[in-house]
Chain A
Amino acid sequence: MNLFRSEEHVARWLEANGYDAGATLSAEGICDLAQAWWGDRLAPDWRPHTLEQNQAILDGLGLTGEFWRLA
């Protein structure tokens, strides 16, 4: 999961490495995902997220579709 200057740079990197495209998020989008996914990681009462909880995080951010299905 890498950071790039722009979508053009993503496309060039994919081609250079022979990778199929995955999903591109804006910096705002990855920041929102990080907050929702990791925000409780140091909470004293932390409990493991269930798969359903994690899927709900993705769904809640509009990250839907086959690519974003955890199982």
Chain B
Amino acid sequence: MDVELRNRIYAWFVEHGQAPTLEEAGADEDALRRLHDAHALVLEPDLPKIRMLNPFSAVPTAYRVEAGGRSWYGNCVWDAFGIPAALGVDGHVSTTCSDCGEALEVDVVDQRPRPSDLVAHILLPARRWWDDIVFT
């Protein structure tokens, strides 16, 4: 894996709040494809365009996160809580209950969620997480 390229792409994303293009990343499609195949990032299907830099999503999702003075999107609840963790700051997650649609607002302070009486559900077993990472 080209760790230097991967780290450059992540740093670019955090600085600019959006995924770099191929040109901005200073990479060709093959290099991005290799990072995708190594699960270091996720490309859009059939496009050399970054969709996920886990825990960050490069496209809007149902998991909006405020952290470090910026707004982000997480790919799922696990990733949403992972954004404050990756940035090393407190944060706030806004989403809805997947069942009833009620708004759920969660502060993450000192790595603890408030309120803490909500629950997360992981549908697929661990060995299947990368079968279809967008669904996961």
Q: Could you tell me the distance between the alpha carbons of A46 and B108 in the complex, rounded to whole angstroms? A: 24
Pair count A-B, CB < 8 A: 165
Inter-chain contact A19/B119, CB cutoff 8 Å? no
Label chain B's interface by main secondary structure.
Answer: mixed
Contact A42 B121 (CB under 8 A): no
**Are A58 and B126 CB-contacts (below 8 A) given A41-B54, A41-B55?**
yes
Contact among A3, A16, A41 with B95 in the assembled complex (CB-CB below 8 Å): A3
Q: What are 12 sample pairs from A and B whose C-beta atoms fall under 8 A apart?
A: A1-B136, A3-B98, A3-B118, A5-B118, A21-B121, A23-B122, A24-B122, A41-B54, A41-B55, A41-B86, A48-B38, A67-B126
Which chain A residues lie closer than 8 Å to B6 at the CB level?
A: 46
**Which residues of A approach B to under 8 Å, CB–CB?**
1-7, 9-10, 12-14, 16, 19, 21-35, 37-42, 44, 46-48, 58, 66-71
B76: nearest residue on chain A (CB-CB)? Answer: A1
Contact in complex: B87, A6 (CB < 8 Å): no
B47 at the interface (CB under 8 A from A): no
Count of residues in B whose CB is under 8 Å from the partner chain: 51
Asked if B125 and A3 sit within 8 Å, CB to CB, the answer is no
Q: A38-B85, A41-B55 are in contact. Are A10 and B78 (CB under 8 A)?
A: no
Is the CB–CB distance between A35 and B121 below 8 Å?
Answer: no
- Among B88, B104, B121, B127, point to the contact of A69 (Cβ < 8 A): B127
The CA-CA distance from A8 to B4 in the complex, in Å, is 45
Complex Cα gap A66–B116 (Å): 27
